[in-house]
């Protein structure tokens, strides 16, 4: 009996071991694996847009804060100099003289953002540039690396452009064009034209009527429509909306140091630091609503934010302006402010309209 009991016990133990072995060897079937992978894929697809939206929301807040910093700097500059900085300051022409116009100056010019550096915690860079006593082309010759300095305060976090703006190099008279620091924020020139126009006596010429103008510093008293009703600075994105070979589809952002061409049309011209509402806000906007002149986005406002752009107003507040804002402007009626859409009216400092 003892022998039989022991044998029976050994048989039960072997059976248990065999059963456990069978359980250990059992795995997932191919169908089960595919089902799990499919479930994970669905969950990822559901979560990814939410994660992207959260990231974009955070970037938008950063963009707003940077524009608010610029707004505070603008008013600090006004408090110190009794005027906002000129949109650009050509060699030999004093700021603040209403009689001066951009086409009276030479091409090289410091941009308005350089004037704000002391008020944006970049005093050492401002001192190194020394724009009071050095011209931009002199710095290009002797301290060019200063102009390559990446300044995050002038960059939209949603924009994917490189630190140097390869699409807006400074012209060096036939030598290799020089790439300088990128900016996504441009000063508002209003609905006025800038570019290779003959002179201010031309009856077709509409003087810049925003907060920034070449070789003229605007004061708060000049903004008769009210600071809270007038654009100061807007966004412009990097990249293209159409064919890269068609310059009318270029956004190509901006640069912070200044310009090397006095025209408005050239990549290194006034549009490198300023922009206006002659071009519709939406990415498919036209120049003065002219169907024969689509685009010209390098002159207007745009952004990587879905649905619109951030605009800094002259009172220091920042608002998100949607692509569906009322906007209308015709070349033939550009002198009649009453024909403007809301978008254009808010870019003009003294149209007398709500």
Burial of 259 (0-12, 13-18, 19+ CB in 10 A): buried
Give the pLDDT of residue 181. 96
Torsion of Cα atoms, 134 then 88 then 80 then 157, to 10°: -100
Q: pLDDT-derived band of residue 202, with 50, 70 and 90 as boundaries?
A: low
Q: Which of 26-35, 311-320, 339-348 has the highest mean pLDDT?
A: 311-320
Classify residue 175 as left (phi > 0), alpha (psi -120 to 50) or beta. Answer: beta
- Flag whether pLDDT at 307 surpasses 70: yes
What average pLDDT does range 219-223 have in this prediction?
96
Kindly report the backbone phi and psi dihedral angles of residue 216, in degrees, each rounded to the nearest multiple of 5, phi listed first. -145, 130
What average pLDDT does range 89-115 have in this prediction?
59
Give the pLDDT of residue 294. 57
| Spatial distance between the Cα atoms of 223 and 240, rounded to a whole number of angstroms | 34
Query: Contact 327/280 with Cβ under 8 angstroms?
Result: yes
Task: Provide the residue ranges of all domains of the chain, joining segments of one domain with +.
Answer: 48-345
Q: Which of 32-36, 44-48, 52-56, 203-207 has the lowest mean pLDDT?
A: 203-207
Give the pLDDT of residue 207. 74
Which residues 6+ apart lie within 8 Å of 299 measured at CB?
264, 265, 271, 275, 276, 278, 279, 287
Burial of 339 (0-12, 13-18, 19+ CB in 10 A): middle
- Flag whether pLDDT at 95 surpasses 50: no
| Spatial distance between the Cα atoms of 281 and 344, rounded to a whole number of angstroms | 10
Kindly report the backbone phi and psi dihedral angles of residue 185, in degrees, each rounded to the nearest multiple of 5, phi listed first. -125, 130
Q: How many CA atoms lie within 13 A of 17 on its CB side?
A: 6
Q: pLDDT-derived band of residue 270, with 50, 70 and 90 as boundaries?
A: confident
Give the pLDDT of residue 196. 39
Give the pLDDT of residue 39. 87
Q: Concatenated DSSP letters for 267-329?
A: TTSGGGTEE-SSB-SSTT-BBTT-TTSB--GGGS---SSTTEEEEEETTS-EEEEETTS----
Q: Concatenated DSSP letters for 139-156?
A: HHHH-GGGGG---GGGS-
What average pLDDT does range 211-229 have in this prediction?
92
- Flag whether pLDDT at 101 surpasses 50: no
Which of the two residues, 326 and 233, has the higher pLDDT score?
A: 233
Q: Report the predicted TM-score, pTM, of the whole model to 2 decimal places.
A: 0.80
Give the pLDDT of residue 228. 96
What average pLDDT does range 217-234 have in this prediction?
96
- Flag whether pLDDT at 92 surpasses 60: no
| Spatial distance between the Cα atoms of 332 and 334, rounded to a whole number of angstroms | 6
What average pLDDT does range 85-110 have in this prediction?
57
Q: pLDDT-derived band of residue 91, with 50, 70 and 90 as boundaries?
A: low
Question: 69-83: per-residue pLDDT in tens?
Answer: 999 999 999 999 999
Query: Contact 181/147 with Cβ under 8 angstroms?
Result: yes
- Flag whether pLDDT at 9 surpasses 60: no
Q: How many CA atoms lie within 13 A of 150 on its CB side?
A: 9
> 211: which 2 tokens?
């907060």
Map residue 182 onto helix, strand or coil. strand
Q: Which of 52-56, 116-120, 131-135, 336-340 has the lowest mean pLDDT?
A: 52-56
What average pLDDT does range 229-240 have in this prediction?
91
What average pLDDT does range 122-141 have in this prediction?
91
What average pLDDT does range 59-76 have in this prediction?
96
Distance spanning both ends of the chain, measured CA to CA: 111
> 38: which 2 tokens?
């499919």
Query: Contact 180/257 with Cβ under 8 angstroms?
Result: yes
Kindly report the backbone phi and psi dihedral angles of residue 240, in degrees, each rounded to the nearest multiple of 5, phi listed first. -125, 160
What average pLDDT does range 4-28 have in this prediction?
52
Per cent of the chain over pLDDT 70 is 74
Report the alpha-carbon angle 342-98-265, nearest 5: 60
Q: Which of 69-78, 280-289, 327-336 has the highest mean pLDDT?
A: 69-78
What average pLDDT does range 26-50 have in this prediction?
80
């Amino acid at each position: 009996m003892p022998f039989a009991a022991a044998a029976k016990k050994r048989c039960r133990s072997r059976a248990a071991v065999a059963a456990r072995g069978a359980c250990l060897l059992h795995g997932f079937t191919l169908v089960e694996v595919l089902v799990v992978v499919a479930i994970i894929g669905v969950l990822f697809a559901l979560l990814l847009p939410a994660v992207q939206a959260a990231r974009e929301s955070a970037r938008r807040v950063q963009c707003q804060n940077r524009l608010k910093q610029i707004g505070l700097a603008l008013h600090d500059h006004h408090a110190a100099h009794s005027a906002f900085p000129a949109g650009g300051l050509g060699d030999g022409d004093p700021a603040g003289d209403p009689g001066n116009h951009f086409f009276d100056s030479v091409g090289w010019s410091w941009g308005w953002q350089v004037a704000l550096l002391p008020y944006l915690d970049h005093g050492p860079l401002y001192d190194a540039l020394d724009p009071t006593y050095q011209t931009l082309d002199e710095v290009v010759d002797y301290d060019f690396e200063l102009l390559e300095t990446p300044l995050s305060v002038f960059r939209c976090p949603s924009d994917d452009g490189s630190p140097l703006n390869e699409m807006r190099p400074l012209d060096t008279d036939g030598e290799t064009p020089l790439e300088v620091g990128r900016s996504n924020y441009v000063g508002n020139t209003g609905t006025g034209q800038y570019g290779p126009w003959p002179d201010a006596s031309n009856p077709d010429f509409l003087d810049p009527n925003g907060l920034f103008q070449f070789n003229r510093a605007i004061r708060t008293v000049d903004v008769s429509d009210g600071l809270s009703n007038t654009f100061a600075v807007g966004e412009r994105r990097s990249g293209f909306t159409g064919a890269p070979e068609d310059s009318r589809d270029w956004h190509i952002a901006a640069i912070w140091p200044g310009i090397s061409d006095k025209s408005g049309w050239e990549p290194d011209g006034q549009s490198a630091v300023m922009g206006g509402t002659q071009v519709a806000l939406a990415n498919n906007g036209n120049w003065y609503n002219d169907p024969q002149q689509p685009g010209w986005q390098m002159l207007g406002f745009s952004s990587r934010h879905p649905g619109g752009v951030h605009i800094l107003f002259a009172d220091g507040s920042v608002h998100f302006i949607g692509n569906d804002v009322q906007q209308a402007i015709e070349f033939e009626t550009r002198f009649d402010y009453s024909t403007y859409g809301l978008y254009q009216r808010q870019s003009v400092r003294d149209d007398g309209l709500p």
